[in-house]
Amino acid sequence: MKLISWNVNGLRAVAAKDGFAWLEEQKPDFLGLQEIKVRESDVPSEIYKLGFNEISVNSATRAGYSGVMSLAKFASVTQKAAFFDDDEGRVLEHRFGNVALFNIYFPNGQKDEARLAYKMDFYAKFLAYAQELVKQGKDVIFCGDVNTAHREIDLKNPKANAKTSGFLPIERAWLDEVVSHGFIDTFRHVRGDAVDAYSWWSYRFNARAKNVGWRIDYFFISASLKDRLKDAFILSDITGSDHCPVGIEIDLDRLC
Residue numbers belonging to the annotated binding site: 7, 35, 145, 147, 242-243
Contact residues for 235 (Cβ-Cβ < 8 A; gap 6+): 4, 22, 26, 244, 245, 246, 247
243 is catalytic: yes
Report the binding-site residues for Mg(2+): 7, 35, 145, 147, 242-243
102 closest CA partner among 116, 81, 118: 81
State residue 82 phi and psi, 5-degree precision. -95, -5
Exactly one of 86, 94, 139, 145 is catalytic; name it.
145
123 is catalytic: no
150 is catalytic: no
Contact residues for 72 (Cβ-Cβ < 8 A; gap 6+): 29, 30, 31, 52, 53, 54, 55, 56, 94
How far, in Å, CA of 171 to CA of 166, rounded?
7
Exactly one of 86, 105, 139, 198 is catalytic; name it.
105
82-106: b (≥16 Cβ within 10 Å) or e: ebeebebbbbbbbebeebbbbbbbb
How far, in Å, CA of 208 to CA of 237, rounded?
10
How far, in Å, CA of 166 to CA of 179, rounded?
17
How far, in Å, CA of 227 to CA of 221, rounded?
11
How far, in Å, CA of 235 to CA of 230, rounded?
16
Kind and range of the H or E element at 129? helix 113-135
State residue 73 phi and psi, 5-degree precision. -100, 10
Active-site residue set: 105, 145, 243
